[in-house]
Every structure is written in structure tokens, then in C-alpha cells.
Structure 1
Amino acid sequence: MSHTIKVIGLGAGDWNQLTLGVYHILKSANKLFLRTKEHPAVDSFQQEGIQFTSFDAVYEENDQFEDVYKQITERLLTAALDEDVVYAVPGHPLVAERTVQLLLNEGPKRNIEIEISGGQSFLDALFTTVKVDPIEGFQLLDGTDFHAKDIHSNQHLIIGQVYDAFVASDVKLTLMEKYPDDHSVSIVTAAGSQQASVKEILLYELDRVMTLNNLTSVYVPPLAEENLREFTSLRSIIKILRGPNGCPWDIKQTHLSLKKYLIEEAYELLEAIDVDDIDHMIEELGDVLLQVMLHSQIGEDEGMFTIEDVIEGVSSKMIRRHPHVFGNVEVQSAEDVIANWKEIKAEEKKDTNSASVSALDGIGKGLPSVIRAFEIQKKAAKTGFDWEKAEDAWLKVKEEIEEFQTELSKEDKEKQIYELGDLLFAIINTARLLSIHPEEALERANQKFIRRFSYIEQQVHKSGKPIESFDLKDLDQFWDEAKRKGL
């Protein structure tokens, strides 16, 4: 014979605000459990002759709230094996009650019926207390499991389960990632009861208030101005720029017209990384993100795709290619991760319907030639067409140097271009086998040349003479000075 756990809500206020149905269930219960006895209505239980068992001690026995909820759930399910039980929670059973969700999930597995009865949500009383209309948009979040990524600062925010100063401190620090330190917030305690209180404070004071308890919620009003830290704000800005009354330049852009800007912004980001300029990196990462957003908005305007499609695609790929994180695959090293990644990627790209697919397919034709050569060599190497070691590739460089040198004495420009290309390709191959990215190496050489040439210009300027008055030997001496100075 199966038994039932009947879950009821004690509402947000005192005994007089209980619904009649909940009152009758309490009076007739043979076995009554309370999640906590710290509730205004419980004070009247003794006068009504209602006997109960509370789980307050469970909170003292565990350090993590999730462990508390699991233990309460397990005790209720065990008790229900022998008889029907009633479980009373603050507020409404389906509002901010983790134990109820666990019961709904686990009860049927043990042939125990979970029946949800009435109860007034604390939200009703809280909206009345802070005088907010929820139709304007609001969020209800758990203070014990609170993350900045979940916050929408343009909506009313209610944070429940702010039991004590430790939870309040975590909530405060998380809110400060989205709101100003002096943003006004309200601490609402026992909303809907005769002991109800509201205290308006500044955000940075949140964990300094001593009246926090299990009936405490925090209300955070929306920001008066649009929060530019929100992704939704950026998306809105791009949509406006591309809209009917937006910017003429943005409106006329296409995927093709934006190509050059994406390349430019990517290189400017690389420069910021090379010089370890954090502020510049933030700016350039923003410029790269801007390109992604523009392309996505164009896709949306054309009815082809949206930024959500882009995000879904990359999220799905990351989960799929990291089975050692999101699955049950075990790895021992970064090398194992790379091997798994390549295997999964190869499986994704496999085309069994075409025998004409080349191993070199998929290499972007718009890539700079140095990077494209590097990628071509990498793909060819995966088929086994590769030197065994860098020293072998270097011998090929020497061979190409001799062939190029032979063509230098001739006047066949086409042959010179051809042989110089072979030489550069061989050098890039050697770099790859040494795990040196040729683009990075060449950019370092560029920066070194700029530093040393700038030194030459400084010395020329000090002389008061035009640079044309110096011969190459004199300029080369300045170059050597710069080199000795470590520039």
C-alpha cells in the first residue's frame, strides 16, 4: 500500500492568514513535519493543540544547504513508508522550496504520492510591502545559490533565503558585479505578518544588518539607467544601429563588407596581447565582439540566423568536444585532451558520401598567407605527409635557399617569386615542427625592427641633421647601439 506526503504552505504571515483548507489539514494531521518552526504562524500551534516535528536541527548538522534539503527529503520519504504524513513549509510549497522539488522528483520512484496543497506565497506580501507591480518584470533568485550571470538588472529582483550575514555577504559581493555599491536595496523581514519590517539601505551595507533570519528577503530595484555591462544592452544597441532610424554606415554593411574589419580588429587584439596591455586588450576584445554582433544582427535582419544560433552552436561544440568535463571520459594530460579533440573533430567533419573530399578542405582562402601555409602544413601532417623532425625540414630550407640564390643572378621575376615562395613555405614548415607559430615569430621581428628603427630616428633627431645626410654605415652603427641596449 502506498502512502502520501501532503505538502502545505503556511503562507507569509501569522496564524490568522492561514487558509481554511490548510488549517483543517494541520488540525487533522497524525504526523506533521515542519521544515522550520521559525515562522509567525507556528506560535499558535500549541494553543491549537497541534503537535509537530521540525527539521531545524538538520540545518545545524550540515554545512551546505543542498545537504540540508536532501536530508530533510530522505527523512520525509522514510517516514512516509509507514504512514501518510503532512509536511508544512513557509509560504507556498512551489515557491522557493527546494525540498518540495526533491520530493516531487524522488517520491514517485519509491511509490510515494506527493500531494501539493495551498498556501500563500511570500511574494504576494512582499510586492505589497515594497509597492511593486510584478507585471513590470521581476526575478526571484535563491540567496544560497546566487550567481551574477543570472541577474537581469533591468528588472525587479527578489532574493530569498538570505538567512544570515554569511549569505548576505555573498549576495552583496555578487550584486556589486552588476550594481553600484551605493545602489539602494530593501531588507524585507516577515512580510505579511504583524512583525513585518522593511529597511532600506545601501548595497554595501547589506551584510552589516543584524536582523537577518529565515524570513528575510532582499529586494533590489532595477537600475535607473541601462546597464552597459549586460549582454542584452549590447544586443539592443546593435539592433538600434541597424534599425530604420539607426546609423547609415551600420545599416549598409554586409557580411562581405565587414570582412576586412574583423581581420583588422583581430590583429589589433594580438598586438595588445603581445605588449600585455590589459586596458587595450579589453578595448580590442570589445571590437572583436562588436564584429560578431554585427554579423549576427545582419543574419537576423536577413532571417538567416541570430546570435542565439551562434551561442548555441559554440556551446554545443564545447560540451561535445570536452567529454572529460561534461561526460565520463577520463584524461591524464593536456595531450590526451588534444587527442580527444582531434578525434571528435574528425568524426564531426567526416563525409562518407564523397570520395573526392581533400584533407586540405576547409582552410580559409581569406587567411593571411603565412597563417594559411601553417594551416595547410598542419592538415597535411595529419595524413602522415610530414617530416619526422625539424632538422629534416631545415635541410629543405637550405635546399630552397640555394635554389633561390641561383635565381637571384637571373632576370626571371616569375622564377624568383616561385623560389622565394618555396623558401618561405619551408621556413614556416620548420617553425611548425618546432611548435613555433610563424605569425607570432614574424610579429616579434616586426616589433623588434620598429623599436630599433625608432632608436635610429631618435639619434638622428638629436643630431639636428636630416636622415638623408647619414649613410647606411652610420645608421647601422645606431642599429648596433640599439641592439646592445636590448631593444
Structure 2
Amino acid sequence: MSEPSITIVGLGTGDEDQLTLGVWKKLQLASKSQAKLYLRTNDHPMVRMLDDNQIPYTTFDANYEAHQNFERVYESIADELIQQARQESTEIIYAVPGHPMVAEYTAQLLKQRCPEAGIALTLLGGESFLDQAFLRFGFDPIDGFQLLDATSLSRYTLNPRLHTVIGQVYDTYTASDLKISLMEAYPDDYRVVVGHSLGVAGAEQIMEVPLYELDHIKGYGNLSLVWVPKSEQDEVHYRSFGRLHEIVSILRSPEGCPWDREQTHASLRKNLIEEAYEVLETIDEDDPDHMCEELGDLLLQVMLHAQMEEEIGTFTVYDVISTLNEKLIRRHPHVFGDHKAGDADEALVNWNAMKAEEKRKKGIDVTKQSVLDGVPRDLPGLMKAWKLQKKAAAVGFDWSEAREVLNKVEEELGELRQAMDNQDAQEKQEELGDLLFSIVNLARFLKVDPEEAIAQTNRKFVQRFSYIEEQLRLRGLSFEQTDLSEMETYWQEAKKVTKLER
């Protein structure tokens, strides 16, 4: 018995004049009982030519009905072909639409499995749908193009700078999902081209439509393609990270902006802090549009700092992204690994364990580090006090209940009163700091973020003071023309108004 073998042949796009002579000779072996022919599907124009020439075949169309997803369908086809190759004494010919190595998952499976099964595998190319796509759509692939699968396409694979050909657009539902994915990278009215049965006489259809009408087209099937032409439009590239990197590098270049060129890490230090606080303000305002803009301004600061380092060859913003991606995966073993985390506390334990492991790998002896290490030096005072207290509390240095902390607040207030009587400026500052620190401790026991609490009070103060200003304006008065008692009256009114608004 000869060595078991499988030959995969490509049936091309459907035009019999484009079928290669070598493939045709192979197919004819089945009519001479010198080989057994299997088709992945009989839903292909070339099947009529097989029937006309009385070439017998077996199809795997029943497998599509037997399994719930394409991956399992293709795995079952590969399994059956390997089994048949072992049992049959003649060559197994497996015919697939197009080219065996273009968007043909079963061919990839057979390439992996045949060597392990001791089966010789041969591939004979046919005209792929790409050949017809280049001809019918009329673009030159040397300009750059990408071939994508509609059933597994994501936003991250799209590159508007390249021509994009998308296959496996089997039906209207797939086209609808594809449309939604494309709209994340392209404008809703971007012009795209749909091609059905390219190169098949009497069946070919080519239609250009705006993207939002992609799923309105009729006739999608296994010979359907979507072409998204490459774009030179600025508004399309504005949505890409690469364009942002390009713009920032231009701004810092000799031909760029004089102000941007002059900036250093030190000169932009305050900008970074200010932009972060402006983002926080949008969170407090619950203003998504403003937040979107301010997050962009904060991102610009990251881009500028990274660009400065890229210019001297230390790292690029892509290194920043790579480091962050690595860290996120490494510190979430309960998501990307084998660890488990049933709640946020368990997840935090995993995170801290990975941080400690990272330090050990860097040669840092965590046993010699202070419990208070890791709190940024320049955090706002209340936030820094909160973090220092949390770290100390984690090792047991803490009050046992809120009442004890409240007593400490009253004690510190008394010491501040005494310092005020002594008229010692340094002592007053120190005692005021102690009082604030004890209040943060109380906030921690009350499970109230002190920064959020003071931010809320600040907003409330601005709102009530603005009410006083408005009342004075309505009466044609200025602050110089009123007194504290009148302002206090308006303040009390403002308190009632804000309560009603809540």
C-alpha cells in the first residue's frame, strides 16, 4: 500500500478559463478512479464544470449543518480527510475555493496535522480572489494593502493608510457587524466597494456605497468581498495613534512650533499637573464631552515627554505602551493567568504580590524597604496623608475605632488654639498640619475620601458665593456697597436653594 497522501487544489474564483492546467489534471484523476475527490463545498461556480465532465466528488456541506461555528466545521473536515487518507489506497484530492493558502483555514489545519499523522501533503495553487480583486477594484497592491477576515475583524487591525480587502462576508449579518467595526475607524459616509462573484461571467456585481449602507446590499455569499480604499483624509487619520505620534514629532522638529521645541521635562512639569486636575474637574462635572477634550490634553503631555526621550534615543512612546501592556498582563494573573480573584481585595493582593516580585527581580530587598515607600513625593497633601496612613494601618499601626480618632482631632485642635495664643508662626503651622493629618485619619475611618470631600465643599462654596454675587447684581450693588450681615442673609438663602436643588 502506498504512503497516504492528500493534495489540496485551488478551484480559483469561479472562471473556468482561469483554472490552472495542473489543477485540472488533478481533478480528472477522480474520473479515472485514480484518486478520490472531496470538495469543501459545492457552493462554487466550478462545480458545474465538474458535473459537466462527470467527475465524481464528495462534499463537506453537511459539516456546516452539524456544527455551530466555522472553526469546528473546519476542524471536522480536517479530521475526516486525515481519516480517509489513512483508509484509502488512492490519493485524496481536496478542492477548495480560490487558492489553498489564501483565507483557507482547513489548509492550515492540514499543514499542521498531516506530518504528525504520517501523511504526505501537497498544495497546488489556483487563482485566488485577490487576483480578481486587484483586477476589478483597480488598485495596485504595491501601494500597500491588508487582507482581513470579516468574521474576526477588530478595530485594532485597521489601518486607513492601506487599501483593505475584507473576505468571508458571508451574509447580511456579517456585513452589519463589519460595518460597525469599520465605523470605529472611518466616517459613516466613507465610500466602500462591495464585490460579489468577481470574475464570474454573468454573476459579477460591483457596487460602491457609503459605509453606513454596507449591510443594505443584497446578495452576500461566500464569493463576496468588501474593499475599503486607503484614505488620505486628515479626519480619518485623526483617529489613529500613529498620526498623533507623527504630529507631536513634527511639532518638536526644527520645522515645527518654536514653543514646543523649547519645552523640557522641567518646563512642562506644572502643565502635566494642571492637565490632570482639569480631567478631575470634568469627572466632578459629569461632562463627557469636556472629559474627552481634557483627556486629550493630558495625553499630549505624555506624548511630549516621550518625544523628548525619543529625540535623544532613550525610549519612545511605543516603549511606554509596551511596558504598560506587559505590566498590566503581569499584574493581573487572575485575568491573564492561572490565579483566581473573587473580589477586588483578592485582586489587590495579586497586584501587590506581583509588584513585590518585580522588585525582587530588580535586586531590591523588599524586607529592607520602609512600609511607607511607594507614596509619590509630590502628591497633594491630603491624598499623601491618606496613603501614608493606609500603609501604616496595613501593618497594624492604627486606631481601633473612629471615636479614638475624633478624640485625637479635638486634642490637635486644642494644641492649635494654644499655638495661636503663643503667636509662634512655626508652631501654628506645625499644629495646623497635625490637625489636618488627624482629620484625614478620621476621613479614612469614615470611609470618605478627604480629597473628594474638600472638592465637594469647594464646589458648594463657589455655588453659594456665586448666589451672593448674583443677588447683589440684581440689586445694582457692589461688595463695597454692602456689609457682612447682608451677605450672610444671602448666604443662608443660598443654602436653602442648594438644598432644594439636591
Q: What interval of TM-score do these two structures reach, taking the shorter chain for normalisation?
A: over 0.9
In the alignment, which residue of structure 2 is the partner of 1:243?
Answer: 253
Per the alignment, residue 21 of structure 1 pairs with 22
For residue 152 of structure 1, give the secondary structure of its aligned residue in structure 2. Answer: coil
Residue matched to 1:265: 275
Among 279, 292, 308, the alignment partner of 2:289 is 279
Contact 1:324/1:330 (<8 A) preserved: yes
- Structure 2 residue 206 is the aligned partner of structure 1 residue 198: yes
- 1:149 maps to a residue whose letter is Y
| 1:388-403 matches, cutoff 5 A | 388-403=400-415
Pick aligned residue for 2:127 from 111, 117, 120: 120
Determine which of 219, 222, 225 is the counterpart of 1:211: 219
Select the residue among 352, 363, 381 that pairs with 2:393.
381
Is the contact made by 2:283 and 2:291 (CA closer than 8 Å) also made in structure 1?
Answer: yes
Between 1:406-415 and 1:194-203, the stretch displaced more is 194-203
Question: SS of the counterpart of 1:222?
Answer: coil
1:353, CA displacement in angstroms?
Answer: 4.3
1:328 partner SS:
coil
The reply on whether 1:168 has 2:172 as its aligned counterpart is: no
| Percent identity for Structure 1 against Structure 2 | 47
1:143-200 superposed Cα distances (whole Å, 9 cap, x missing partner): 1112222211221111101111111111122222222333222111222333433222
Match of 1:92?
A: 99
Compute the displacement of 1:249 (Å).
Answer: 1.0
- What is the deviation of 1:294? 1.3
Partner of 2:324: 314
Question: Does the CA-based 8 Å contact 2:359-2:365 persist in structure 1?
Answer: no
State the secondary structure of the residue aligned to 1:37: coil
What residue in structure 1 maps to residue 7 of structure 2?
Answer: 6
1:349 to 355, 359, 381: 359
Letter in 1 for 2:42: K
Q: Relative to structure 2, which stretch is displaced further, 149-158 or 51-60? A: 51-60
- Contact 2:412/2:435 (<8 A) preserved: yes
1:485 aligns to what SS in structure 2?
A: helix
Summarize the alignment of residues 148-159 of structure 1 with structure 2, pairs less than 5 Å apart: 148-159=155-166
> What secondary structure sits across from 1:393 in the alignment?
helix
TM-score (norm 2): 0.91
User: How has the CA–CA distance of structure 1 residues 389 and 340 changed in structure 2, closer, same or farther, with 3 Å as cutoff?
Assistant: farther
Find the aligned partners of 2:392 and 2:26 in 1 and give their Cα distance.
75
Q: 1:98 to 1:391 in 2, by over 3 A?
A: farther
Contact 1:179–1:223 under 8 Å retained in 2: no
Query: For residues 469 and 311 of structure 1, do their structure 2 counterparts lie closer, same or farther at Cα, with a shift above 3 Å needed?
Result: same
Distance across 2 between alignment mates of 1:434 and 1:110: 67
CA separation of 1:81/1:322 partners in 2, compared to 1, >3 Å: closer, same or farther? farther
Q: Give the Cα–Cα distance (whole angstroms) in 2 for the partners of residues 398 and 6 of structure 1.
A: 88
Which of 323, 334, 353 is the aligned partner of 2:333?
323
SS of 2:195's partner is: strand
Aligned partners of 1:242 and 1:250 also within 8 Å: yes
Distance in 1, Cα, partners of 2:37 & 2:263: 67
1:65–1:144 CA contact under 8 A, matched in 2: no
Aligned length: 487
Find 1:69's aligned residue among 71, 74, 96: 74
User: 1:459: Cα distance to partner?
Assistant: 1.5
Q: 1:354 to 1:37 in 2, by over 3 A?
A: closer
Q: Deviations over 1:391-413 (max 9, x none)?
A: 33333222211211211111111
Counterpart contact for 2:149–2:167, Cα < 8 Å = yes
Residue deviations 1:236-277 (CA, integer Å, cap 9, x gap): 211111122111111121222211111111111111111101
Aligned position for 2:382: 370
- After alignment, is 433-442 or 191-200 more displaced? 191-200
2: CA distance, partners of 1:384 / 1:111 = 65
Q: Deviation digits for residues 65-116 of structure 1, max 9, x if unmatched?
A: 2232233233223333324522221121111112222333344444444433
Whichever residue aligns with residue 228 of structure 2, its letter is: V
Give, in whole Å, the separation in 1 of the partners of 2:199 and 2:328: 47
- Which secondary structure does the structure 2 equivalent of 1:257 belong to? coil
Q: Distance in 1 between matches of 2:273 and 2:22?
A: 68
CA drift at 1:311: 1.0
> Contact between 2:334 and 2:350, CA under 8 Å: does it hold in 1?
no
Query: What is the one-letter code of the residue matched to 1:300?
Result: E
